[in-house]
């Protein structure tokens, strides 16, 4: 079995997740770690059990085949470009740039280098959503026509954190890109237009908006909505006698999809750990269309991450793909299409109007 050396850029919370996945991979031999501050680099590398290295040492080392970028948002694109031009495969956390133009610059370098670039949309690797995609592809709900996501949570950014200091529509490319990306994946189509609204802020110390109501129309007529509120869920105070999602499931936290098709529907519910499918039937023997639940799947608490936020599974798979010389499973161009939708929604909120995909593409032509 071929083994590769990898580097993790950014050794904070997400960086730790990348390191742990790399340690568990049979395809990884050595792990290097980078932080811009030398003292933190050495101390954090010691804590995580990796080899401290400067950026130059990582980029100039031909034995490092894969770079995981888990640094702050502002340097995602410059670091990814540097790694691609240094001949490294790259897994980069989202957002894929702080602007549409910056994301486009990353795509341009990937095309110029023909390098391996995958953006961290790990929900493609989560069993909950893989099941949904399989049911849709198998035709079990007919043609998908409506996709609604409801995501209510508590304020988890905390005062004076880098997240709470993000401006404007910060949450769309930073957090909600995952859920807009899933809508694109389920429809297997591109958005035609988007209209997004944000009500006045409730969280006064946020520099960014704390709610987003995003409605997208897709080619072929399908419609998707994303209803996000970042304060309605009860603030989480861990009760050691209760399981976490059980505690949160009835206190205002929601993360649900309802995907409706011409022959049935699908519901995902993270906090209930449940996936359900409806079947629609009609005929002269009925006085109205009949709807019935025909399949229901649940999962256990110990399987939470694999089912609804499988970052570790994604990272393990990326190491395997690079070691075997295989291409990304979610192309950089596909991720860029999601970022187009994110920035279109952001522009819609900023200017209070419908924004079309054609308009976004025209903006890219003038870059």
Per-residue pLDDT band for 248 (boundaries 50, 70, 90) equals confident
What is the spatial distance between Cα 262 and Cα 113, in angstroms, rounded to a whole number?
43
- pLDDT, position 251: 87
Residue 161 phi, psi (nearest 5): -85, 165
CA 118 to centroid of chain Cα atoms: 12
- pLDDT, position 34: 98
Burial of 31: CB neighbours in 10 Å, binned 0-12, 13-18, 19+: buried
CA angle 122, 123, 128 (to 5 degrees): 140
What is the spatial distance between Cα 276 and Cα 327, in angstroms, rounded to a whole number?
33
Element at 329 (helix H, strand E): none
Summarize pLDDT for 37-78 with one digit per residue, the tens: 999 999 999 999 999 999 999 999 999 999 999 999 999 999
Cβ neighbour number for residue 8 with a 10 Å cutoff: 31
Q: How many CA atoms lie within 13 A of 76 on its CB side?
A: 25
Rounded percentage of the chain residues whose pLDDT exceeds 70? 100
Say which CATH superfamily domain 4-119 falls into: NAD(P)-binding Rossmann-like Domain (3.40.50.720)
pLDDT over 80 at 141, yes or no: yes
Summarize pLDDT for 285-320 with one digit per residue, the tens: 999 999 999 999 999 999 999 999 999 999 999 999
Given the DSSP bridges, would you call strands 223-230 and 144-153 parallel, antiparallel or unpaired?
parallel
What is the spatial distance between Cα 31 and Cα 63, in angstroms, rounded to a whole number?
11
What is the spatial distance between Cα 100 and Cα 77, in angstroms, rounded to a whole number?
12
- CATH top-level class of 125-308: alpha beta
How confident is the prediction for the chain on average, in pLDDT? 95
Summarize pLDDT for 232-247 with one digit per residue, the tens: 999 988 788 788 888 8
- pLDDT, position 105: 96
Cβ neighbour number for residue 21 with a 10 Å cutoff: 22
| DSSP code string of 238-269 | --TTS-HHHHHTTTT-EEEEEEEESSEEEEEE
- pLDDT, position 367: 64
pLDDT over 80 at 192, yes or no: yes
| Rounded mean pLDDT, 202-211 | 96
| Rounded mean pLDDT, 268-277 | 96
Query: Would you say the CATH fold of 125-308 matches that of 4-119?
Result: no
| Rounded mean pLDDT, 120-124 | 97
What is the spatial distance between Cα 88 and Cα 65, in angstroms, rounded to a whole number?
5
Element at 104 (helix H, strand E): helix 100-113
Summarize pLDDT for 313-359 with one digit per residue, the tens: 999 999 999 999 999 999 999 999 999 999 999 999 999 999 999 99
Residue spans per domain, the chain: 4-119, 125-308
| Rounded mean pLDDT, 110-131 | 97
Ranking 139-148, 247-256, 282-291 by mean pLDDT, the lowest is: 247-256
Q: DSSP class of residue 234? A: P
């Amino acid at each position: 079995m071929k083994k590769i050396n990898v580097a993790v850029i950014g050794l904070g919370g997400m960086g730790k997740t990348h390191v742990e996945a790399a340690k568990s991979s049979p395809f990884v031999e050595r792990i290097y770690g980078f932080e811009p501050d030398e003292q933190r680099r050495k101390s954090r590398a010691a804590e995580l059990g990796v080899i401290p290295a400067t950026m130059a040492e990582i980029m100039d080392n031909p034995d490092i085949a894969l770079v995981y970028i888990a640094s702050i948002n502002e340097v995602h694109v410059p670091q990814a470009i540097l790694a691609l031009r240094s001949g490294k495969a790259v897994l980069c956390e989202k957002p894929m740039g702080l602007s549409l133009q910056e994301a486009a610059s990353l795509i341009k370098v990937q095309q110029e280098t023909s390098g391996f670039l995958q953006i961290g949309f790990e929900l493609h690797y989560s069993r909950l959503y893989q099941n949904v995609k399989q049911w849709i592809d198998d035709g079990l709900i007919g043609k998908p026509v409506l996709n609604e996501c409801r995501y209510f949570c508590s304020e988890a950014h905390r005062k004076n954190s880098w997240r709470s200091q993000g401006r404007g529509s910060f949450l769309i490319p930073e957090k909600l890109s995952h859920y807009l990306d899933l809508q694109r994946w389920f429809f297997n189509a591109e958005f035609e237009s988007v209209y997004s609204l944000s009500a006045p802020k409730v969280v006064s110390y946020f520099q960014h908006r704390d709610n987003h109501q995003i409605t997208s129309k897709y080619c072929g007529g399908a419609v998707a909505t994303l209803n996000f509120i970042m304060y309605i869920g009860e603030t989480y105070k861990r009760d050691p006698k209760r399981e976490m999602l059980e505690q949160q499931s009835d206190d205002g936290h929601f993360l649900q999809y309802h995907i409706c098709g011409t022959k049935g529907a699908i519901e995902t519910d993270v906090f209930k750990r449940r996936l359900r499918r409806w079947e629609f039937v009609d005929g002269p023997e009925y006085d109205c269309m009949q709807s019935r639940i025909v399949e229901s799947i649940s999962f256990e608490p110990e399987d939470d991450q694999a089912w609804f936020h499988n970052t570790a599974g994604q990272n393990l798979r990326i190491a395997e793909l690079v070691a075997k010389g295989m291409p990304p499973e979610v192309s950089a161009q596909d991720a860029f299409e999601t970022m187009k939708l994110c920035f279109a929604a952001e522009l819609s909120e900023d200017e209070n109007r419908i924004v079309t995909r054609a308009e976004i593409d025209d903006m890219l032509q003038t870059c």
